[in-house]
Amino acid sequence: MKVIAIILGIPVVPYTMEEAVTKLIEDVLKKKRSFVVTANAEIIMMAQDDPEYKIILSQTADLILPDGAGTVWAGNYLGYVIPERVAGYDLYLRLLEEAADNDIPVYFFGGKPGIAEEAAEEGRRRWPGLKVVGCRNGYFSAEEEPEIIDGINRSGAAMLFAALGAPKQEKWLAKYKEKLKPCLLMGIGGSFDVLAGKVQRAPKWMQDARLEWFFRLIKQPSRFGRMLALPKFVFAVRREKGMKK
Give the type of residue at 217.
Answer: L
CB neighbour class for 122 (10 Å; exposed up to 12, middle 13-18, buried from 19): middle
- Given the complex with ligand UDP, which of 11 and 165 has the nearer CB atom? 165
CB closer to ligand UDP out of 182 and 189: 189
* 138, 174, 196, 212: which one binds ligand UDP (CB under 6 A): 138
Q: Determine if 214 is a binding residue for ligand UDP (CB under 6 A).
A: no
Burial 178-214 (b: 16+ CB within 10 A, else e): eebebbbbbbbbbbbbbbbeeeebbeeeebeeeebbe
Binding of residue 157 to ligand UDP (CB under 6 A): no
Q: Which of 139, 144, 175, 235 binds ligand UDP (CB under 6 A)?
A: 139
Q: Which of 2, 16, 170 is nearest to 87 (CA)?
A: 16
Task: Verify binding: residue 189, ligand UDP, rule CB under 6 A.
Answer: yes
Q: Does 70 bind ligand UDP (CB under 6 A)?
A: no
**Shortest Cβ distance from residue 106 to ligand UDP (Å)?**
17
* Binder among 20, 69, 163, 229 for ligand UDP (CB under 6 A): 163
Round to whole Å and give the CA distance between 37 and 104. Answer: 20
Task: Report which residue's Cβ sits closest to ligand UDP.
Answer: 138
CA distances from 40 to 55, 71, 174, 205, 216 (A): 17, 6, 18, 19, 14
The vertex-115 CA angle with 166 and 33, nearest 5°, equals 50
Using CB under 6 A as the binding criterion, the count of chain residues that bind ligand UDP stands at 14
**92 to 131: interface string for ligand UDP, x by CB under 6 A:** ------------------xxx-------------------
Instruction: Point out which span in 99-107, 118-126, 153-161, 185-193 binds ligand UDP (CB under 6 A).
Output: 185-193
Give the helix ranges, DSSP H, for 78-200: 88-102, 115-126, 145-155, 168-176, 191-195
Residue 20 near ligand UDP by CB under 6 A:
no
- Bridge partners (DSSP) of residue 5 are 12
Nearer to ligand UDP, 198 or 210 (CB): 198
Interface residue list for ligand UDP (CB under 6 A):
110-112, 138-139, 163-166, 168, 189-190, 192-193
